[in-house]
Chains A and B, each alone.
Chain A
């Protein structure tokens, strides 16, 4: 009970995080091809190293560096179906929320300030609660950061946990270089400040780097860096953050809060080593926003509390809940989270997909040109048809993707592209120029819905 009372805040937030994250159906287009890849690996007892899903790069070697993440998600799905995935997602978000809550008080922030900051950070991070291996990075980032703060405060055990976590991370998802970067930041700080824990940190850093290569299909740090400096902008999550959208706005508030707190109170060397590279990463692509927001949480929460105290020195500080009451509140939230399992969605949300085209696709033949965002769905729902492109991105980069865009956006060589791949059918959004042109050119409409049209060459 005393542990619960001591950790009532992180436990309560974890419970709330679980309830929120498990309550909506999956809908990410990449979930499908990750599940298909995972199932293939489970069926064949080997890692999937060459393309088996597309007509354009079939048989070509590729790696997305996430084999273990795909297998874990598939195992969860095989046990609990779509509801299992939702519950698993909720659990991972709960773990992330738990460590984020701990992080938010690392700077000595009072509970209210930490709560406000964490709630905003969690609301912001909702866009990252996807059923993809990327969610492991979402969870592992605050864990490794919290461990590093613990180590900085003197815990040797915390450091020992990091290399195995990096090993796990490297096999779960390609975002692991950010974990190594965290260790590097703490190591550099220790080196500059000549902290006594410099040797263990250096050992941890070296071990983390070495272990990250123990990945049978490593994506590589160089690959991650290259991706960060040249993100494929036509994918929405790879676009720069738009501060007039909800998640971008919250990110901007964290940036402003960081600057505001620093103007009031300054910050430590470690804050600079962590936040400035992460801010660059966040500004480079929307999918990277969360790292900055999470890492800024301790500074912002503590700073906001200090500023409030300075502006209103006579304000009576809120008294913390008595320990038993805090524990009971946390347990009540946990009970609520458990009860919420009853309402977990049992199927995916497929309203954005061409569900009405599936039957017609099964009767078709020849090369299918499909929307990029529907590739994963088709791999899973219509495995008998090979896709043109899908969310795996790297196998198609750059030649197939260029051809795909030339065709779909009706660029001058669109007819050459269709001829090159001998495209017989096209599954597109009705608003796409190619869909309009093919209709005008007499392609047959095999199936049609409000969000799709399946056209066949006459």
Chain B
């Protein structure tokens, strides 16, 4: 049975429209926009131009296409344009997740939606205006292609390398796709000897595709580093915590997968080739939790109903029969729903959030910032300052990797008031400190009577004597 688009498009458009009511202004969006605009205006910049600590040093360009897309949205409609692009991206992500489920059980849309719910819920935590969101879309598409390929579609295997090319230029999460296609190709070559060549071509093509970026082999640097050395002090890189809401949803996805594997009468060992490595990756850091939830959606859709029926039989309960679609809607209906969804999204974006939520940023400190080098700023505010205080270069910002050569260590020493903090201030030539009032350095600076140039509940700007 053909997989109708009505349900995925409707649900995707619904969540996309809902997202236009959410705040905009992720702490990283500002530097992504700045780099995107810079790329549009002057081409790719391979050295830093926003900080005074690593100015002129090489920086990663592994998200350039994602940054350009956000910058184009900004050019087209300002914050409303960004909200519109985010809504479209979320609609795509949710729609593809639901499609992946529905593809397994086209006649059981309710079951498919239920299977997709944990992934949709968990994806909420990555509905940010960052290239990362595009990475999740690519992953969701990748999962659909992978399953199509394994069920016999050579076209799906052909589409892998082009997808990886796009993905590798959008976001660093492409490495997951490249790794998985290699694993799947090995398993596929063993399970389906007649398709060995196809699998090999797809895997080799995908690996080569990762090099078709401005960074070439360097595109692998950030994913490799983050995999083995996640910066735990950054909240999204912290260990998954099941006592939080996203952690609990992640746990639910794992438990649903386990229950399905335990009780489904149909065995699916091949699923392990994708599910096991993705589960390990998701267990590493909070920001990676949605990956497993997305990867397991088709499996839950395909086998979850069977597992529940078996469980009900074990418990001698009557299994409620889910409504089945006997005649799927035709392509005309799909087209109509797509058009309606597009209109709905456009209307929602036009009437949705049109300004960033800046409550957490030190807006009132901007007039008191000194021009030129010498500011030590809160890590989370670096991007905001890049966009809003261009005459004052930052000490650190959310790009992270450029600052691993000692800058972050010095930052931690000063902000945490660790031994030698004043020596580091002197050595670095820091003239102003912009941090939260509860940061130890802010507390200590007040104790020492350092001049407070500006302050609020959110920030304190201190002049170093």
The complex places the Cα of A433 from the Cα of B441 at a distance, in Å, of: 9
Name which of B259, B275, B283, B314 has the most chain A CB atoms within 10 A of its CB: B283
Given A192-B315, A244-B228, A283-B251, A436 and B272 contact (CB-CB distance below 8 Å): no
Which A-chain residue is minimally distant from B421 (CB atoms)? A436
User: Residue B440 contacts which of A193, A255, A258, A409 (CB distance < 8 angstroms)?
Assistant: A409
B272 touches A263 (CB 8 A): yes
Interface-forming stretch among B64-72, B240-248, B321-329? B240-248
> Which residue of the partner chain, among A193, A263, A436, contacts B261 with CB atoms under 8 Å?
A263
| Smallest Cβ-Cβ distance to A229: which chain B residue | B243
**Any B CB within 8 A of the CB of A394:** no
Q: How far is the CA of A244 from the CA of B417 in the complex (A)?
A: 28
Which B residues lie within 8 Å of A414 (CB)? 443
Given contacts A258-B258, A259-B279, A264-B267, contact A410 B440 (CB under 8 A): yes
Residue of B268, B417, B447 with most chain A CB atoms under a 10 A cut-off? B417
Is A171 engaged at the interface, CB distance under 8 Å to the other chain? no
Q: Is A260 an interface residue (CB 8 A)?
A: yes
In residues 197-240 of chain B, which contact A (Cβ within 8 Å)?
A: 228, 230, 232, 239-240
Q: State which residues 305-361 of B face A: CB under 8 Å.
A: 311, 314-315
When A264-B267, A264-B269 are in contact, do A259 and B258 touch as well, CB less than 8 Å? yes
Contact A412 B437 (CB under 8 A): yes
Q: Pick the contact of B258 from A241, A275, A411, A415 — CB < 8 Å?
A: A275
List A231-285 residues whose CB lies under 8 Å from chain B.
Answer: 231, 233, 239-244, 252, 255-256, 258-260, 262-269, 271-272, 275-276, 279-280, 283-284
Question: Complex: how many Å from CA A265 to CA B262?
Answer: 8
Encoded as 1 (CB less than 8 Å from any A CB) or 0, chain B from 247 to 284 comes to 10001001101110111110111011001100110011
Q: Assess whether A244 is in contact with B255, with CB atoms less than 8 Å apart.
A: no
Tell yes or no: A431 within 8 A of B by CB. Answer: yes
What's the least CB distance linking A293 to chain B, in Å? Answer: 14
| CB closest residue in chain B, given A233 | B241
| Known contacts A230-B243, A284-B243, A433 near B440 by CB under 8 Å | yes
A410 touches B257 (CB 8 A): no
Check A412–B438 contact: CB distance below 8 A: yes
Cross-interface CB contact of A259 among B242, B251, B261, cutoff 8 Å: B261
Q: When chains A and B are docked, how far (Å) is the Cα of A284 from the Cα of B239?
A: 11
Q: Min CB distance, B193 to chain A, in Å?
A: 16
Q: Which of A193, A231, A260 contacts B243 (CB 8 A)?
A: A231
In the assembled complex, how far is the CB of residue B455 from the closest CB belonging to chain A, in whole angstroms? 12
A110 beta carbon closer than 8 Å to chain B: no
Check if A220 is an interface residue, CB within 8 A of chain B. no
| Across-interface contacts of B242 in A (CB, < 8 A) | 240, 280, 283-284
| Residue in B closest to A437 when the chains form the complex, CB atoms | B444
Q: Is the CB of B240 within 8 A of A283?
A: yes
- The docked-state distance in angstroms from the alpha carbon of A280 to that of B272 is 21
Measured between beta carbons, the chain A residues less than 8 angstroms from B263 are 266-267, 272
A280 contacts B261, CB within 8 Å? no
Q: Is A430 an interface residue (CB 8 A)?
A: yes
B283 & A411 in contact (Cβ 8 Å cutoff)? no
Q: Which residue of A lies closest to B270 (CB)?
A: A263
| Alpha-carbon distance A315/B273, docked complex (angstroms) | 23
Question: Cβ of B419 < 8 Å from any Cβ of A?
Answer: yes
Contact with B along A394-432 (1 / 0, CB 8 A): 000000000000000111101100000000000000110
Q: Do residues A256 and B269 form an inter-chain contact, with CB atoms below 8 A?
A: no
How many residue-residue contacts, CB under 8 A, span A and B? 126
Taking a contact as CB atoms under 8 Å apart, the answer to whether B417 and A266 are in contact is: no
**How far apart are the CA atoms of A230 and B242 in the complex, in Å?**
10
A430 touches B419 (CB 8 A): yes
B443 → A minimal CB distance (Å) = 5
| Residues in B neighbouring A192, C-beta threshold 8 A | 314-315
Residues of B within 8 A of A263 (CB): 261, 267-269, 271-272, 275
**Contact across chains for B444 and A259 when beta carbons are under 8 A apart:** no
Give the docked Cα–Cα distance between A233 and B244 (Å).
12
Cα(A263)–Cα(B260), bound, Å: 9
Q: Which chain A residues border B272 with CB–CB below 8 Å? A: 259-260, 263-264
Report A-chain residues with C-beta under 8 Å of the C-beta of B437.
412
Q: Give the docked Cα–Cα distance between A263 and B232 (Å).
A: 32
Would you call B416 an interface residue if the criterion is a C-beta within 8 Å of the partner chain's C-beta atoms? yes
Contact B283 A255, beta carbon cutoff 8 Å: yes
A262 & B261 in contact (Cβ 8 Å cutoff)? yes
State whether B276 touches A259 (Cβ < 8 A): yes
Across-interface contacts of A256 in B (CB, < 8 A)? 276, 279-280
How far, in angstroms, from A169 to B269 measured CA to CA in the complex?
40
Kindly provide the distance from the CB of B362 to the nearest chain A CB, expressed in whole angstroms: 17
B275-A436 in contact (CB<8A): no
**Contact between chains at B315 and A279 (CB < 8 Å):** no
Q: Contacts A192-B314, A263-B267 hold; do A252 and B280 have CB atoms under 8 A apart?
A: yes
Smallest distance from the beta carbon of A213 to chain B beta carbons, Å?
A: 28
Q: Does B399 contact A (CB under 8 A)?
A: no
Interface size, B (range): 35 or more
- Asked if B2 CB lies within 8 Å of chain A CBs, one says no
Cα distance A234–B72 in the bound complex, in angstroms: 43
Given A262-B261, A266-B267, are A240 and B240 neighbors across the interface (CB < 8 Å)?
Answer: yes
Q: Are A279 and B241 in contact (CB under 8 A)?
A: no
Are the C-beta atoms of A436 and B443 separated by less than 8 Å? no
Residue ID in chain B nearest A243 by CB atoms: B283
Q: What's the Cα separation between A350 and B265 when bound, in Å?
A: 55
Residues of B within 8 A of A433 (CB): 416-418, 440, 444
Whether A411 pairs with B255 at a CB distance below 8 angstroms is no
Cα of A275 to Cα of B262 in the assembled complex, Å: 11
CA separation between A243 and B284, bound complex, in Å?
6
B314 x A193 contact (CB < 8 A): yes
Nearest neighbor of B262 in chain A, beta-carbon distance: A267
- A239-B239, A242-B239, A437-B444 as given contacts; A276 in contact with B259, CB under 8 Å: yes
Which one of A241, A276, A436 has the highest number of Cβ atoms from chain B below 10 Å of its Cβ? A436
Contact among A241, A266, A410, A437 for B262, CB-based, below 8 A: A266
CA gap between A260 and B267 in the complex, in Å: 11
Q: Which residue of B lies closest to A430 (CB)?
A: B419
Rounded to whole angstroms, the CA-CA distance of A266 and B259 in the bound complex is 9
Nearest chain B CB to A245's CB is how many angstroms away?
Answer: 10
Question: Complex Cα distance A283/B254, Å?
Answer: 11
The answer to whether B417 touches A272, judged by C-beta atoms less than 8 angstroms apart, is no
Given contacts A193-B314, A243-B283, A263-B268, contact A437 B251 (CB under 8 A): no
List of B residues within 8 angstroms of A284 by Cβ: 241-243
The contact string, 1 if C-beta is below 8 Å from chain A, for chain B 384-421, is 00000000000000000000000000000000111101
Task: Name A260's closest neighbour in chain B (CB-CB).
Answer: B272
Min distance, Cβ A436 to any Cβ of chain B, angstroms: 5
Nearest-neighbor residue (CB-CB) of B257 within chain A: A259
Chain B proximity of A192: nearest CB distance (Å): 5
Check if A436 sits within 8 Å of B418, measured CB to CB.
yes
On whether the beta carbons of A271 and B262 are closer than 8 Å, the reply is yes
Question: Which residues in window 200-243 of A have CB below 8 A to B?
Answer: 229-231, 233, 239-243
Are B255 and A255 interface neighbours, CB within 8 A?
no
Considering the chains assembled together, what is the distance between the CA atoms of A256 and B281 in angstroms? 11
Interface-central residue, A231, A430, A431, by most chain B CB under 10 Å:
A431
Residue of A nearest to B232 (CB): A242
A344 to B321, CA, bound (A): 65
Residue contact A410 to B443, C-beta cutoff 8 Å: yes
* Complex Cα spacing A265 to B266, Å: 9
Give B242 Cβ to nearest chain A Cβ, in Å.
Answer: 4
Query: In the complex, what residue of chain B is closest to A272 when comparing beta carbons?
Result: B262
Question: Cβ of B262 and Cβ of A279 under 8 Å apart?
Answer: no
Contacts of B279 in A (CB 8 A): 255-256, 259
A276-B416 contact given A263-B261, A263-B271, CB 8 Å threshold: no
Q: B residues engaging A (CB < 8 A)? A: 228, 230, 232, 239-243, 247, 251, 254-255, 257-259, 261-265, 267-269, 271-272, 275-276, 279-280, 283-284, 311, 314-315, 416-419, 421, 437-438, 440, 443-444, 447-448
List 10 interface pairs A-B (beta carbons < 8 Å), by A numbering.
Answer: A231-B243, A240-B242, A243-B280, A255-B279, A256-B279, A259-B276, A265-B267, A266-B264, A284-B243, A410-B443
Q: A263-B261, A269-B314 are in contact. List 5 more A-B contacts (CB 8 A).
A: A193-B314, A241-B239, A259-B275, A271-B262, A435-B419
